[in-house]
A and B are shown apart, each in its own frame.
Chain A
Amino acid sequence: MSRLAKWPPRYWLVVLVVLIFFGLPTQVTSFQSLEWAEVLIFAIVILGLNLLVGYSGQISLGHGAFMAIGAYTTAILVHRYNLNYLATIPIAGLLTGLVGFLLGIPALRLSPLYLALATFALAVITPSLIKRPVGLTQGTDGIEILPQQPPDWASSAFTSVTGGPPMSSDQWLYYVVFFIAVILFWIAWNIVRRRPGRALMAIRDGEVAAAAFGVNIAGYKTLAFGLSAFYAGVAGSLYALATGFVHPDEFPVSLSLGLLVGAVIGGLGSIPGPLLGGIFTFWLPILSGQFVGGQSWIPDQVAAVFKNAGPAVTYGALLILIMIFAPNGVVGLILSAYGRLRSRLRGAGERTTGQLPPDPQTV
């Protein structure tokens, strides 16, 4: 118990957040559980993107493509080969991770700018690439996955807590996503605060200096790519299970950009940031659309246009404003506010937090 007493407050915050997400499906409807499952899925892929962009300093504008690989792996394995859906999740993750690792090798030779360019082009052509091998992906028809029924032990445990109707397939899926998200966040947190994380940040902040200290630049950079793709693949696989349907047009370039927005808004180079980013990326289009649609003074036609254009305008404006005024995102803002408050209370600033990683990388 004495170890627990020494826990810093942020550990308790983590426990609180995990408990809230654990209990969420007992408090909301089945459909809302599914929505929050998608929030967590976005959080997973944004976490992976953050490992790449925020920690290793490489940029990818093509993470929607990695998600597509994961989603289609699961869809094809479940639909055509009747594989257990739970088994397809690690397969999708590992396959996507392998693709990411292989893409990371040519990426080594590219400056950040060219890497951005190449991955952006990849994101743009992804839907067309998926549509072509019709025998494999069923082209524009998409692939349907039947909902997964919860096992009996989970269902009865859920009913004994809520006392209500039995667990729905959506609620079960939420818990699958929840446990995978917890594990992946735990892994990411351990990676970034140990040797690999320090190596990645050293590379990001000064490649030459890192190499001089014996960091294996090529190894860690490709590792970051593979790991990031693994996260995206797992998220894509879960996304396919959650929506029950995969289609080429579900992976447009705007998906990749939305993920980047999530990573930037939550805070690059932070582990809790992606959770905030996931919440933001998922809810912004829905809530803004609902808000405008609910206002009676706004004509229906304007509301319909806003539903399409509104998120883009908000995303774009937020990206610019955050990069100019708060390059560390929401988490950075909170940390610097907290740091300022604490130094005010204790009289002196013991340490500075929320600093933008000094990135001297030039083209």
Chain B
Amino acid sequence: MTEFAQQVISGLASGGIYASLALALVLIYNAMGLVNFAQGEMAMLATFLAYTLIGRGMSYWIALPITIVVAFAGGLLIQRVIIRPVERAPVLTLVIVTLGLATLVNGLAGFLYGYIPRDFPSPFSVRTIDILGAAASYRDLGVIAVSAVVLVLIYLLLQRTTIGLAMRAAAHHPEASRLLGVRVSWMLALGWGLASAAGAVSGIMVAPILLLEPNMMQSVIIYAFAAAVLGGIESPLGAVIGGLIVGVTVNLAGAYVPGVGGDLQLAVAFLIIIAVLVVRPNGLLGRRAARRA
């Protein structure tokens, strides 16, 4: 039982990371009906920035906010320069553009930093404390706490501020919002910035576990896809719940299902995606999409 609880806690820690990235996906989906395939790679690049800053002797807790701010600006810039020209293009075009962006960023990181995995510092020790008989590491608890703070901040921004209201309005009714004086295009850019910032946090949290290298996020983005699809791709709360479920499920499957371990855990995420799409395409919290026919 203790081992089970331990697996659940470390699953929740990974789940928090997936939730942050899934939330980033949901933010962009809500803004423009698009899944950003480059979300993971953008997070990876931001993590390399944090790595460089810390390597220059900066304290972790100063490097973290700086990275988040730069990631925010970077996301904003990407939306303005690359996404805006194809904003109204068919979804196929948008998917290809974000895939191009993913490839570009991945190659860029490889170009700048090489492909050798690097140790990334974690402010939390790997010592364990006793919670309900289970040994939980400070690192897992720290990751859960940081993810929770990020998720709550984004929730407050979206639900409790005027700018959050404008962002939601622009996503739901662009035409009406424009008439009411909301700068819709800038709200989309803001969504990209916010998503990029949330993704950066997930990258920084996952880097000490997976080791930092350009392909680090390739598996994480699949888990985040699974989380977003499971939660309902337009629901921020769903992304969080989906992330936690995916994190725990994958961890438990890896520990208890024979044959599933290591790289096959990704296949579990794939199965979750397929199962949700076939059984309940709108996810747990998604609204049923009205389809013009």
In this assembly, does A53 line the interface, its C-beta being within 8 Å of a C-beta of chain B?
yes
In this assembly, does A18 line the interface, its C-beta being within 8 Å of a C-beta of chain B?
no
In Å, the complex CA distance between A59 and B229 comes to 18
Q: How far is the CB of B42 from chain A (nearest CB, A)?
A: 12
Our pick among B264, B267, B281 for the contact of A114 (Cβ within 8 Å) is B281
Q: Is the CB of B92 within 8 A of A359?
A: yes
In Å, the complex CA distance between A254 and B89 comes to 25
- 1/0 contact string of A281-325 vs chain B (CB within 8 Å): 000000000000000000000000110111111111111100110
Q: Is the CB of A124 within 8 A of B277?
A: no
Q: Is the CB of B92 within 8 A of A361?
A: yes
Chain B interface, >50% SS class: helix
- Closest B-chain residue to A110, C-beta based? B277
Q: How far is the CB of B284 from chain A (nearest CB, A)?
A: 15
In Å, the complex CA distance between A221 and B139 comes to 49
Query: What B residues does A114 contact at CB under 8 A?
Result: 229, 277, 281
- 1/0 contact string of A57-74 vs chain B (CB within 8 Å): 101010000000000000
Q: How far is the CB of B262 from chain A (nearest CB, A)?
A: 8
- 1/0 contact string of B256-286 vs chain A (CB within 8 Å): 0001000110110110011001100100000
| Cross-chain pair count, CB within 8 angstroms | 152
Q: Is the CB of A316 within 8 A of B90?
A: no
Residues A260 and B281 in contact in the complex (CB < 8 Å), given A305-B111, A316-B104, A327-B93: no
In Å, the complex CA distance between A112 and B34 comes to 10
Residues A359 and B104 in contact in the complex (CB < 8 Å), given A109-B277, A113-B95, A117-B35: no
Q: Is the CB of A320 within 8 A of B97?
A: yes
Query: What A residues does B96 contact at CB under 8 A?
Result: 260, 264, 319, 323
Query: What B residues does A125 contact at CB under 8 A?
Result: 222, 263, 266-267, 270
Residues A116 and B278 in contact in the complex (CB < 8 Å), given A312-B106, A323-B96: no
In Å, the complex CA distance between A324 and B81 comes to 11
In this assembly, does B128 line the interface, its C-beta being within 8 Å of a C-beta of chain A?
no
Q: Is the CB of B267 within 8 A of A129?
A: yes
- 1/0 contact string of A244-281 vs chain B (CB within 8 Å): 00000000011001001000100000000000000000
In Å, the complex CA distance between A121 and B273 comes to 9
Q: Is the CB of A121 within 8 A of B269?
A: yes
Interface residues of B in 83-114 (CB under 8 A from A): 85-86, 89-93, 95-97, 99-111, 114
In Å, the complex CA distance between A318 and B107 comes to 13
In Å, the complex CA distance between A297 and B99 comes to 33
In this assembly, does B65 line the interface, its C-beta being within 8 Å of a C-beta of chain A?
no
In this assembly, does A187 line the interface, its C-beta being within 8 Å of a C-beta of chain B?
no
In this assembly, does B66 line the interface, its C-beta being within 8 Å of a C-beta of chain A?
no
In Å, the complex CA distance between A69 and B82 comes to 36
In Å, the complex CA distance between A317 and B89 comes to 18
In this assembly, does B2 line the interface, its C-beta being within 8 Å of a C-beta of chain A?
no
In Å, the complex CA distance between A120 and B86 comes to 21
Query: What B residues does A352 contact at CB under 8 A?
Result: none
Q: Is the CB of A110 within 8 A of B89?
A: no
Query: What A residues does B222 contact at CB under 8 A?
Result: 121, 124-125
- Closest A-chain residue to B259, C-beta based? A132
Q: Is the CB of A320 within 8 A of B82?
A: yes
Query: What B residues does A132 contact at CB under 8 A?
Result: 259, 264
In this assembly, does B124 line the interface, its C-beta being within 8 Å of a C-beta of chain A?
no
Q: How many residues of A contact B (CB 8 A)?
A: 53
Q: Is the CB of A109 within 8 A of B274?
A: no
In this assembly, does B192 line the interface, its C-beta being within 8 Å of a C-beta of chain A?
no
Q: How far is the CB of A139 from chain B (nearest CB, A)?
A: 12
In Å, the complex CA distance between A117 and B273 comes to 9
Query: What A residues does B52 contact at CB under 8 A?
Result: none
Residues A128 and B108 in contact in the complex (CB < 8 Å), given A117-B35, A257-B99: no
Query: What B residues does A116 contact at CB under 8 A?
Result: 35, 37, 95
Residues A313 and B104 in contact in the complex (CB < 8 Å), given A106-B277, A320-B97: yes
In this assembly, does A15 line the interface, its C-beta being within 8 Å of a C-beta of chain B?
no
In Å, the complex CA distance between A360 and B93 comes to 12
In this assembly, does A208 line the interface, its C-beta being within 8 Å of a C-beta of chain B?
yes
In Å, the complex CA distance between A114 and B115 comes to 31
Query: What A residues does B107 contact at CB under 8 A?
Result: 309-316
- Closest A-chain residue to B263, C-beta based? A128
- Closest A-chain residue to B95, C-beta based? A116
In this assembly, does B219 line the interface, its C-beta being within 8 Å of a C-beta of chain A?
yes
Q: Is the CB of B264 within 8 A of A128?
A: yes
Q: Is the CB of A109 within 8 A of B281?
A: yes
- 1/0 contact string of A120-143 vs chain B (CB within 8 Å): 111011011101100000000000
In Å, the complex CA distance between A32 and B12 comes to 53
Residues A57 and B106 in contact in the complex (CB < 8 Å), given A128-B263, A128-B267: no
Query: What B residues does A264 contact at CB under 8 A?
Result: 96
Q: Is the CB of A124 within 8 A of B266?
A: yes
Query: What B residues does A312 contact at CB under 8 A?
Result: 103-104, 106-107, 110
- 1/0 contact string of A170-196 vs chain B (CB within 8 Å): 000000000000000000000000000
Interface residues of B in 35-61 (CB under 8 A from A): 35, 37
Query: What A residues does B278 contact at CB under 8 A?
Result: 106, 109
Q: Is the CB of B92 within 8 A of A316?
A: no
In this assembly, does A145 line the interface, its C-beta being within 8 Å of a C-beta of chain B?
no
Query: What A residues does B269 contact at CB under 8 A?
Result: 121
Query: What A residues does B219 contact at CB under 8 A?
Result: 124
Query: Which 9 residue pairs are nearest across A and B when measured between Cβ atoms?
Result: A316-B104, A319-B100, A312-B107, A309-B110, A316-B103, A313-B107, A359-B90, A128-B263, A309-B111
16 A-B contact pairs sorted by A residue (CB < 8 Å) = A109-B281, A114-B229, A117-B273, A118-B273, A124-B270, A125-B266, A253-B218, A260-B99, A309-B109, A309-B110, A309-B111, A312-B106, A316-B105, A320-B101, A323-B86, A361-B92
Give 6 A-B pairs besides A121-B222, A122-B270 with Cβ atoms closer than 8 angstroms: A117-B273, A121-B269, A315-B104, A319-B104, A324-B82, A360-B90
